[in-house]
Amino acid sequence: MRGIVVRDEGVALEDGVEELLSDEGILVEVAYSDLNYKDGLAVTGRPGVVRQKPLVAGIDMVGRVAESNDERWAKGDWLVLNGAGLSETRHGGYAELARADSDLAVRVPDGLEPEQAAALGTAGYTAALSVLRLVMEGLTPEDGPVLVTGATGGVGSVAVMLLSAAGFEVTALTGRPDKFGDYLRGLGADQIVTRESLGQPGRPMQKALYAGVVDSVGGQILANAIAQTIPHGTVAACGLAASPDLPASVLPFILRGVTLAGIDSVWATVEDRADAWRVLARGVDLDQLDAMTSRVGLDDVITAGEDLLAGRLHGRTLVEL
């Protein structure tokens, strides 16, 4: 069985990954995975994701149960598992055979084919968790526009799509408006703003524009987005594509009642996972998903990871095993 293994000496596609697997969880024949920002870091040997070696990379897996001692899962069931330590402390989805945590895996939801679930992957599932959080905090389309940062990325693209499908007015922030403006409008963006427009240090309280924010970039852009959120609006912070820093003031929180909501997809409860996957099955336009998805095999994942980190990709990359 082949898989992409991260070792102290480097990262490579290897044979014999079944030798690495423990007997925890249920055995899965992996059919698909995908490429996320964290996968880009792991397969290019950068630090910050893989915490023990050797480890099979891939933070997502979609596959069929091959063997199970857990009565909730039968041989042949299709499951999707995102995060849950995959590619951090547990062997991940870039292998033809894997072990899955049967407590955190969810069934591929009705309305999505297994490969569509994989194309959405952690990025799509995180976008859904973020949108669900905004709605849980009381956000409705009547409250005003929602800003999505890193809009051409995986999280951003799916967030634009889900928000638009739910009737929200969406403002997409991107560093590539000329190249991808039409793409973002096709996903449902109503306005497009440039990365530069929020990229410089600004006042702690600015003109209140956005009822909600889905932020996957962090840093100065997140600080300015918070400063432009309307009273009692919510900012869902889920990423750090620009920076892990938050050079912000508490003023929007104490004078406007803005909520800063953190999103953690890795250890989300199984109930939240199932909710997010139901939202994706209902809210994603499958033709658009197909149009924004590129496909690679295991042989090309490492090169695709370099491309992702260099900002040469957009949308989603499906990995076919």
Place of tokens 């003023």: 251
CA atoms within 13 A on the CB side of 86: 32
**Which C-beta is closer to ligand NAP: that of 27 or that of 173?**
173
Paired tokens of 161: 């799509």
Beta bridge partners of residue 100, listed in sequence order: 26
**Which C-beta is closer to ligand NAP: that of 220 or that of 229?**
220
Q: Helix 114-136 to helix 154-165 angle, to the nearest 10 degrees?
A: 70
Minimum Å gap between C-beta 149 and ligand NAP is: 7
Minimum Å gap between C-beta 259 and ligand NAP is: 16
**Which C-beta is closer to ligand NAP: that of 21 or that of 159?**
159
C-alpha span between 278 and 128 (Å, rounded): 9
User: Which distant-in-sequence residues (6+ apart) come within 8 Å of 190 by Cβ?
Assistant: 145, 164, 169, 170, 171
| Under 8 Å between Cβ of 159 and 135 | no
**Which C-beta is closer to ligand NAP: that of 206 or that of 294?**
294
Minimum Å gap between C-beta 123 and ligand NAP is: 4
Residue ranges binding ligand NAP (CB under 6 A): 36-38, 122-123, 126, 150-156, 174-176, 195, 216-217, 221, 238-242, 263-266, 308, 311, 314
**Which C-beta is closer to ligand NAP: that of 65 or that of 105?**
105
Minimum Å gap between C-beta 176 and ligand NAP is: 4
Minimum Å gap between C-beta 224 and ligand NAP is: 12
DSSP letter for each residue of 181-232: HHHHHHHT-SEEEETGGGTS---SS----EEEEEESS-HHHHHHHHHTEEEE
**Which C-beta is closer to ligand NAP: that of 90 or that of 314?**
314
Q: Which residue is nearest to ligand NAP (CB)?
A: 153
Residue 310: C-alpha distances to residues 183, 302, 304 (Å): 20, 13, 10
SS3 label, residue 91 = coil
C-alpha span between 299 and 293 (Å, rounded): 18
**Which C-beta is closer to ligand NAP: that of 11 or that of 238?**
238
Minimum Å gap between C-beta 158 and ligand NAP is: 8
Minimum Å gap between C-beta 34 and ligand NAP is: 9
